Amino acid sequence: MVLSRIWSAFIIVAIIVASIKYLFSDNYKAIYNDMVVGKSGDTVQIASKKMAELNPEIQNALIANPNFDQNRVHYKTDSAKSEVQIYRVQETDGVIGTSETAVKICLGLIGIMTLFMGFMSIAEKAGGINLLSRLIQPFFSKLFPEIPKNHPSFGHMLLNFSANLLGLDNAATPFGLKAMESLQTLNPDKERASNSQIMFLCLHAGGLTLIPVSIIAIRASMGSATPTDIFLPCMIATFAATMAAMIIVSIYQKINLFQPAVIAYVGGISVIVGLLVVYLVNLTKEGLDNFSMLLSNGIILLIFFAIVLGAVYKKINVFDAFIDGAKEGFWTCVKIIPYLVGMLIAISLLRTSGVFDVLIDGMKWVAAVVGFDTRFVDGLPTALIKPLSGSGARGMMVDTMQTFGADSFQGRLAAVLQGSSDTTFYVIAVYFGAVGIKNTRYTVTAMLLADLVGIITSVILAYIFFA
């Protein structure tokens, strides 16, 4: 019900804001077209005016810079500075294009899903998942008290968390969906999220990542002198968001976290991560790149090797087991299409209507009024869009770096925010949609609170490390 209300609010608010812009601004007479059939990157022509017709502030800005923008509206003058073209650039697709994109995303997942679900099927039949479940059971049984001892869902969740930790997004999704399906077999109400499913999804959305490889690569491509300097703040922020998710859900579910097994496992993981950080901070950029590639790709190949070797030892029909799992992966992708389309079109309406612009401008005004340093607000668009769209947040991060510089405070903050959490609403739509969950209970609230902790931690760390 919560997700339904949020989804409805997204659409209603977006259309109301767009209507206000249409009625009271000459710059947005094409906004309804933008929201329905517009394409990302489209140039929306507003007007062509003489320089003298513009207000003095804009005239002075155009004299200094012939291609000037103000409040997302661009002004471009000719060499004689007499004619001025006024236009906007659309940031994202309208709902028609977004619907197509959602289907393309699911189609793109088919190959990855069939690959990893195929190997997952081999591992299950060979007993590998049960082995992982027994290894992690002392810790997970405290966080997931409703799951029977040595249930295979423990193994699926461990693989998902491990893939997230190593930045293996392509592997994390199939492992996560398999974990949700496994947890669904224990769910007495198939349309209502169980406590275990909520705890798993919130921990997953915390997005604990050791090395944010893609963010480092983007910073390097944009000319950063030290592209790896954000990895430590990113890791601390994701750790804080993950711990916040665990604590918040534990409060909802009345789980006692001060148990020896929980403290020992969390403390052990913290020590291991800390030792890795000590090692990694002393590496050069090239050394960090090589280490991350070796770790991530090597782990994938090691998993494949161990699964096949174990299946051969157990005399499993390896190829048939792979095909069985691959078929399941294909149909899982098909099932999530309606959920993904529904979520992405609501996000598209929010972005094309300018709701985010209103929020950012309002936050900057509030920060200025109370006397805060307003630099952090310029990095916040990444944080606001991240719960809704991973690609949208990445675009905002790149835009912030282009505007202020890859090594600016704002650019670094945007990078840390990009790596501080997962895409909350995308995760909810895909994971719950795959198993037919309609009542998400308090999942959205818990995940957004964890996101908030990640955002606050990221801002604080940015000031500590970069200000």
pLDDT in tens, 256-306: 988 888 888 888 877 877 787 777 777 776 776 677 667 767 777 888 898
Q: Is the pLDDT at 161 greater than 90, yes or no?
A: no
* Residues facing 184 on adjacent strands: none
Q: Highest-confidence range of 248-252, 340-344, 360-364, 430-434, by mean pLDDT?
A: 248-252
pLDDT, residue 361, reads 78
pLDDT, residue 197, reads 94
Handedness of CA 132, 137, 140, 145 (dihedral sign): positive
Question: For residue 429, what are the contacts with CB-CB under 8 A and spacing of at least 6?
Answer: 336, 339, 340, 342, 343
pTM of the model: 0.76
Torsion-angle region of 54 (φ positive above 0: left; ψ -120 to 50: alpha; else: beta): beta
Report the amino acid identity of residue 233. P
Burial of 109 (0-12, 13-18, 19+ CB in 10 A): buried
CB 74 within 8 A of CB 89: yes
- C-alpha 74/C-alpha 65 separation (Å) is 11
343 half-sphere exposure, CB direction, 13 A CA radius: 24
- C-alpha 246/C-alpha 278 separation (Å) is 25
* Residues facing 76 on adjacent strands: 67, 85
Burial of 171 (0-12, 13-18, 19+ CB in 10 A): buried
Closest CA to 45 of 33, 36, 37, 61: 33
Query: Is 86 in a helix, a strand, or coil?
Result: strand
More confident residue, 327 or 213: 327
What spatial distance separates the first Cα and last Cα of the chain, rounded to whole Å? Answer: 42
The model's pLDDT over 327-343, given as tens digits with 9 standing for 90+, comes to 877 887 788 788 878 87
Q: Is the pLDDT at 169 greater than 70, yes or no?
A: no
- C-alpha 394/C-alpha 429 separation (Å) is 20
pLDDT, residue 167, reads 64
Quickly tell me which residue has 């009271």 as its tokens. Answer: 24
Confidence of residue 196 (pLDDT cuts 50, 70, 90): very high
Exposed e or buried b for every residue in 9-21, given b needs 16+ CB within 10 A? ebeebbeebbeeb
pLDDT, residue 168, reads 63
Question: For residue 170, what are the contacts with CB-CB under 8 A and spacing of at least 6?
Answer: 112, 116
439 phi and psi, to 5 degrees?
Answer: -100, 105
CB 91 within 8 A of CB 348: no
435 phi and psi, to 5 degrees?
Answer: -115, 10
Query: Is 45 in a helix, a strand, or coil?
Result: strand
Q: Which two tokens stand for residue 337?
A: 């299409």
Question: For residue 212, what are the contacts with CB-CB under 8 A and spacing of at least 6?
Answer: 167, 230, 231, 234, 235, 415, 418, 419
Q: Which two tokens stand for residue 169?
A: 């997004």
Q: Which pairing describes strands 43-50 and 73-77: parallel, antiparallel, or unpaired? A: unpaired
Longest Cα separation, the chain: 83
CB 186 within 8 A of CB 437: no
More confident residue, 53 or 450: 450
Q: Is the pLDDT at 170 greater than 70, yes or no?
A: no
The rounded radius of gyration (Å) of the Cα atoms in the chain is 24
- How many whole angstroms from its chain centre is CA 348? 16
Question: For residue 331, what are the contacts with CB-CB under 8 A and spacing of at least 6?
Answer: none
Q: Which two tokens stand for residue 429?
A: 């739509």
Q: Which two tokens stand for residue 142?
A: 């405290």
Report the amino acid identity of residue 273. V
pLDDT, residue 449, reads 92
- C-alpha 463/C-alpha 74 separation (Å) is 32
Work out the average pLDDT over 319-325.
89
Q: What is the secondary structure of 270-297 as a DSSP string? A: HHHHHHHHHHHTTS-HHHHHHHHHHHHH
Q: Which two tokens stand for residue 335?
A: 């099932």
